[in-house]
């Protein structure tokens, strides 16, 4: 099943706010229609254990925004993939543009993260996307191909535990979303590239991320290769995230 809707809370919310938002989403997800839409919440890691208890038995999974390869080790400040899994995470984000840009994460590290996450039974939401300069230079598709190949090729243990997020860097947190046509072109290309890597590409969720909001979600989700969304800012309020979820249900009924 390709439908999927994810919330990336980034470095936002105090513990009580995170708990309240989780409870609101969990309650909303009890509705029979919404229960058919798999959700993922990526909170700050500090809240994982508590939120795992809150979400137990719901169709909202819990993910970590970042993880370090391995189990234990002398890596001050890091949380291992094994620790995340033990805390109740079942997903991890890898390759988010903020990690690439602000924390210097390169392809070699991302390869290790993807492989180790899957080895620890986590599913990976791998993020790719071009910068504005790359788009303006006509290099968008080349960039996407490179980001898939250098991290995923001959590195995937289980294709069933992989989803892709197409997140143009120029659209993240800017209020400027890719047009439905721009996003569809990128998603279709990513699906073709996944097939070339040997993936069951027609089964892999490819999510759009980048200023996804209630007022643009319907048009984006109407595209055939946009299977769902990775939502940043608009996932911090239950109302706007649920409005995006409703747009998903309208455009992609079971």
Provide the annotated active-site residues. Answer: 96, 167
Q: Which helix (H) or strand (E) holds 181?
A: helix 180-196
Assess 220 for contact with ligand PEP (CB under 6 A): no
Quick check: 247 binds ligand PEP (CB under 6 A)? no
> Which pairs with CB-CB distance under 8 Å and at least 24 residues apart come from 249-254?
249/33, 249/34, 249/36, 249/37, 250/218, 251/218, 251/221, 251/222, 252/3, 252/221, 252/227, 252/228, 254/36
Q: Is 69 in the site for ligand PEP (CB under 6 A)?
A: no
144 touches ligand PEP (CB under 6 A): no
Pick one of 212, 217, 245, 247: the residue that binds ligand PEP (CB under 6 A).
Answer: 212
Q: Which residue lies nearest ligand PEP, judged by its C-beta? A: 232
Contacts of 21 (CB under 8 A, 6+ apart): 13, 236, 237, 238
Measured from the CB atom, the residue of 38 and 82 that comes closer to ligand PEP is 38
Q: Which is nearer to ligand PEP, 42 or 82 (CB)?
A: 42
The single residue among 4, 5, 7, 8 that binds ligand PEP, judged by CB under 6 A, is 8
129 binds ligand PEP (CB under 6 A): no
- Contact call for residue 209 and ligand PEP (CB under 6 A): yes
Which listed residue (26, 61, 233, 248) binds ligand PEP by CB under 6 A? Answer: 233
Name the residue nearer to ligand PEP (CB basis): 105 or 167: 167
Element of type H or E holding 92 = strand 91-94
Comparison of 148 and 230: residue with beta carbon closer to ligand PEP:
230
Binding of residue 61 to ligand PEP (CB under 6 A): no
Least CB distance from residue 212 to ligand PEP, whole Å? 5
Judging by beta carbons within 10 Å of its beta carbon (0-12, 13-18, 19+), is residue 16 exposed, middle or buried?
Answer: exposed
Q: Strand 39-42 vs strand 4-8: parallel, antiparallel, or unpaired? A: parallel
Tokens of 189: 């290309």
Q: Measure Cα distances from 136 to 85, 101, 130, 143 in Å.
A: 40, 19, 10, 12
According to the binding rule CB under 6 A, does residue 211 interact with ligand PEP? Answer: yes
Question: Minimum CB separation from ligand PEP for residue 232, in Å?
Answer: 2
């Amino acid at each position: 099943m390709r439908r999927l809707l994810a919330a990336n809370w980034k470095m936002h919310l105090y513990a009580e706010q995170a708990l309240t938002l989780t409870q609101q989403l969990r309650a909303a997800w009890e509705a029979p229609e919404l229960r058919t839409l798999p959700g993922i919440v990526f909170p700050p890691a500090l809240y994982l254990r508590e939120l795992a208890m809150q979400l137990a038995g719901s169709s909202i999974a819990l993910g970590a925004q970042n993880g370090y390869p391995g189990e234990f080790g002398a890596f001050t400040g890091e949380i291992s993939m094994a620790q995340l899994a033990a805390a109740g995470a079942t997903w991890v984000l890898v390759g988010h543009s903020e990690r690439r840009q602000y924390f210097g994460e390169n392809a070699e590290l991302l390869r290790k993260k993807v492989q180790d996450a899957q080895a620890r039974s986590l599913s990976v939401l791998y993020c790719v996307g071009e910068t504005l300069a790359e788009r303006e230079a006509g290099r968008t598709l080349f960039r996407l191909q490179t980001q898939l190949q250098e991290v995923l090729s001959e590195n995937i243990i289980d294709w069933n535990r992989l989803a892709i997020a197409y997140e143009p860097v120029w659209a993240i947190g800017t209020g400027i979303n890719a047009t439905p046509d721009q996003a569809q072109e990128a998603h279709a290309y990513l699906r073709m590239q996944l097939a070339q890597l040997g993936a069951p590409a027609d089964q892999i969720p490819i999510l759009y991320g980048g200023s996804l909001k209630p007022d643009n979600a319907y048009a984006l989700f109407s595209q055939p290769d946009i299977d769902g969304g990775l939502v940043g800012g608009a996932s911090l309020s239950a109302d706007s995230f649920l409005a995006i979820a409703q747009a998903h249900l309208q455009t992609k009924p079971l």
